[in-house]
């Protein structure tokens, strides 16, 4: 059996259950949510609560999950040090 850590998933590789075999439940949950289009960086209920209760909170919705942090590092660092907000940011909306 191919090593699921490096095997492709789906039609070109392993079935989903085999690909996820041996992974932690947290990994399986996050992977499942991200396939469904969920933002896996902050759970939706927590994101909504923060937006409601933190005055002026700037919400940035990223569709790529944790990997999007890598792809957008420069943009996010500029924002965090006081520069221009990301293009997909909205104040207090989650």
- pLDDT at position 92, please? 64
- pLDDT at position 56, please? 76
- pLDDT at position 91, please? 66
- Report residue 42: phi and psi, to 5°: -135, 125
**Is the domain of 60 the same as that of 83?**
yes
- Name the residue range of residue 11's domain: 1-38
**Is the domain of 26 the same as that of 50?**
no
**Is the domain of 30 the same as that of 49?**
no
* In contact, 19 and 6? CB cutoff 8 Å: no
- Report residue 48: phi and psi, to 5°: -65, -40
**Is the domain of 62 the same as that of 77?**
yes
**Is the domain of 34 the same as that of 69?**
no
**Is the domain of 56 the same as that of 79?**
yes
By the 10 Å C-beta count (0-12 exposed, 13-18 middle, 19+ buried), 33 is classed as middle
By the 10 Å C-beta count (0-12 exposed, 13-18 middle, 19+ buried), 80 is classed as exposed
- pLDDT at position 25, please? 85
pLDDT per residue rounded down to tens, the chain (94 residues)? 555 567 787 888 888 888 888 888 878 887 787 777 666 666 777 777 877 888 777 777 666 665 677 678 888 888 888 888 777 777 665 5
Q: How many domains does the chain have?
A: 2
- pLDDT at position 3, please? 57
**Is the domain of 58 the same as that of 87?**
yes
Token code pair at residue 14:
């392993």
- pLDDT at position 94, please? 53
Helices and strands per DSSP (H, E), number in the chain: 5, 2
Q: What is the pTM of this model?
A: 0.40
């Amino acid at each position: 059996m191919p090593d699921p850590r490096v095997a492709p998933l789906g039609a070109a590789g392993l079935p989903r259950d085999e690909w996820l075999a041996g992974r932690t439940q947290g990994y399986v949950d996050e992977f499942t949510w991200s396939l469904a289009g969920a933002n896996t960086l902050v759970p939706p209920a927590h994101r909504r609560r923060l937006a409601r209760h933190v005055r002026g909170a700037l919400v940035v919705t990223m569709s790529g999950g944790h990997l999007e942090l890598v792809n957008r590092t420069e943009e996010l660092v500029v924002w965090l040090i006081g520069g221009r907000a990301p293009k997909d940011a909205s104040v207090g909306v989650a």
